[in-house]
C-alpha cells in the first residue's frame, strides 16, 4: 500500500492526466476557447430552481397588496430579512437571511421609508390660490417691494437633550445628554424655545426671533416688526408696501383676529400698506421659509444639544448655504399672554380690504 503522501501525488497525476485528455478531445472536435470555468449547466442549481414556489412565497410575504392583510404571516412583525427567512423556513423552504436579501433585490424590492405625499383632501381653489400668490409676489419683487415668507419653526426644548442627527466626535466619545426629554422644571414656562422666522425672498436673508413664552399672534407680528426695524427698512428704504406670505393656520392664520389686529398696528407704525396672502389649508410645506431657511437651520444644529438660549441663537445665526443664505437671530425677552380676545369693534376698526379672489386668504391692511 502506498504511503499517504505518495497516494495523494498519484491521485493528483491521475486527475491532471484525465483533465488534459478531456481538453485534447474537446480541441479535436473543434471546441473554441471560452472564459467559462464550467460547462453550460454545470455547478449548483439556483435555490429558486431547487425549491419551486420559493419566489412566490417570498413575494406574498412582502408585497404591499398582501402584507397588510390579516392573514399575512408577518402582518404584525418587523419585516427584516431574518424574519422573512424564518417565516419561509416555517413553510418548509431552506433559506438564509442573505439568500432572502439577494432574492428581494432580484425581484426589484429595496429598503424604503414611508413618503409623506398624501395631503388629504385639497381645497378646490388650491391651484388658483397658488397662482394668485405667485403672480402677486412676482409683481411686487419686480417693483422692488419687500416680499417675506413667515412661519413658526418647531418648538425646541432648552437643555441638555438629544438633538436629531450626528456630528463628528472622537471615537467612542459621544456627547452625553439626558436620557429623557422631559422639560426642565426649573425653567417653568420658559422651557422651550419658539423660533419665528421671516425670510426675505429677494435677498435670500433670514431673520429669526426666538421667544420662550408663547406662540401668539402678537409674538408673530412682533417678529415681523423686529425684522423690519433690524434689516427690512435698511434693505428697502423707499418701500411703501410689504407683502407677507403665511400659512393658513397657527399664530398667523387667516382666521386669527389678533393676527390682523396686530398687523394693523404695525402698518400704522411703519407707514407700510401690508398685503397678506395665505397658503391654502394643508399646503404649509410649500411655504418658501420651510425649505429656504428652516431646513438649513435644522441641518446646522443637528446632533447638538440646545443647552441654552444663547446656543440656540448663535447656531441659527451661523446658518449659511453655498447659494448665499445669511441669517440673523435674536432672543425675544417679551412676555406674550395667551388667549387675548379681539372684540368685534376692534376687528371692525382694522383698515382691511379683501381681494376679489378669496378675500379671506388675501387682503390689504392700510397704513392709517
Q: Please give the backbone phi and psi of residue 277, each rounded to the nearest 5 degrees, phi first.
A: -125, 120
Structural contact between residues 326 and 297, judged by C-beta atoms closer than 8 angstroms: no
DSSP-assigned letters across all residues of 121-160? SPPTTHHHHHHHHHHHHHHHHHTT--EEEEEEPPPEE-SS
- CA–CA separation, 295 vs 297, rounded Å? 6
**Beta strand spans in the chain (E):** 147-152, 156-157, 192-200, 205-211, 241-246, 273-278, 326-331, 352-354, 362-365
Q: Check residue 11 and give its pLDDT.
A: 47
- CA–CA separation, 307 vs 161, rounded Å? 7
Q: Check residue 232 and give its pLDDT.
A: 96
> What does the pLDDT look like over 185-242, one tens digit per residue?
666 666 789 999 999 999 999 999 999 999 999 999 999 999 999 999 999 999 999 9
Record the pTM.
Answer: 0.70
What is the residue whose three cell numbers read 474537446?
26
The series of mean pLDDT values per 10 residues for the chain, 368 residues long, is: 54 58 71 68 77 87 59 56 89 92 85 67 84 94 96 84 62 64 65 93 96 95 97 95 95 96 96 96 87 90 80 92 94 93 94 95 93
> What does the pLDDT look like over 106-134, one tens digit per residue?
888 877 777 666 665 677 888 899 999 99
Q: Check residue 285 and give its pLDDT.
A: 84
Handedness of CA 161, 164, 168, 172 (dihedral sign): positive
Q: Check residue 63 and give its pLDDT.
A: 72
DSSP-assigned letters across all residues of 271-291? TPEEEEEEPPTT-GGGSHHII
What is the residue whose three cell numbers read 371692525?
348
Amino acid at each position: 500500500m502506498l504511503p499517504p503522501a505518495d497516494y495523494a501525488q498519484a491521485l493528483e497525476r491521475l486527475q491532471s492526466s484525465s483533465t488534459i485528455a478531456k481538453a485534447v478531445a474537446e480541441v479535436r472536435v473543434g471546441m473554441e476557447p471560452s472564459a467559462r470555468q464550467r460547462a453550460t449547466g454545470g455547478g449548483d442549481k439556483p435555490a429558486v430552481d431547487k425549491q419551486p414556489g420559493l419566489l412566490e412565497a417570498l413575494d406574498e410575504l412582502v408585497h404591499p397588496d398582501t402584507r397588510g392583510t390579516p392573514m399575512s404571516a408577518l402582518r404584525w412583525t418587523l419585516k427584516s430579512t431574518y424574519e422573512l427567512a424564518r417565516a419561509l423556513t416555517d413553510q418548509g423552504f431552506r433559506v438564509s437571511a442573505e439568500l432572502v436579501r439577494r432574492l428581494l433585490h432580484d425581484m426589484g424590492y429595496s429598503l424604503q421609508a414611508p413618503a409623506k405625499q398624501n395631503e388629504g383632501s385639497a381645497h378646490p381653489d388650491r391651484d388658483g390660490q397658488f397662482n394668485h400668490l405667485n403672480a402677486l409676489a412676482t409683481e411686487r419683487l419686480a417693483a422692488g417691494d419687500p416680499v417675506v415668507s413667515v412661519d413658526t419653526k418647531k418648538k425646541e426644548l432648552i437643555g441638555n437633550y438629544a438633538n436629531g442627527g450626528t456630528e463628528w466626535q472622537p471615537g467612542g466619545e459621544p456627547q452625553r445628554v439626558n436620557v429623557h426629554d422631559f422639560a426642565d422644571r426649573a425653567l417653568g414656562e420658559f422651557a422651550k424655545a419658539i423660533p419665528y422666522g421671516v425670510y426675505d425672498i429677494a435677498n435670500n436673508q433670514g431673520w429669526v426671533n426666538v421667544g420662550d413664552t408663547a406662540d401668539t399672534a402678537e409674538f408673530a407680528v412682533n417678529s415681523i416688526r423686529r425684522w423690519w426695524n433690524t434689516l427690512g427698512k435698511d434693505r428697502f428704504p423707499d418701500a411703501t408696501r410689504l407683502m407677507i406670505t403665511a400659512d393658513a393656520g397657527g399664530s398667523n392664520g387667516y382666521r386669527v383676529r389678533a393676527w390682523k389686529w396686530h398687523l394693523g398696528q404695525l402698518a400704522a407704525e411703519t407707514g407700510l400698506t401690508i398685503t397678506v396672502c395665505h397658503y391654502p389649508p394643508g399646503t404649509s410645506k410649500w411655504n418658501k421659509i420651510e425649505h429656504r431657511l428652516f431646513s438649513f437651520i435644522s441641518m446646522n444644529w443637528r446632533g447638538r444639544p440646545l443647552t441654552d438660549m444663547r446656543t440656540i441663537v448663535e447656531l441659527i445665526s451661523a446658518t449659511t448655504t453655498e447659494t448665499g443664505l445669511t441669517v440673523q437671530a435674536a432672543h425675544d425677552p417679551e412676555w406674550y399672554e395667551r388667549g387675548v380676545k379681539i372684540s368685534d369693534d376692534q376687528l371692525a376698526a382694522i383698515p382691511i380690504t379683501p381681494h376679489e379672489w378669496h378675500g379671506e386668504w388675501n387682503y390689504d391692511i392700510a397704513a392709517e
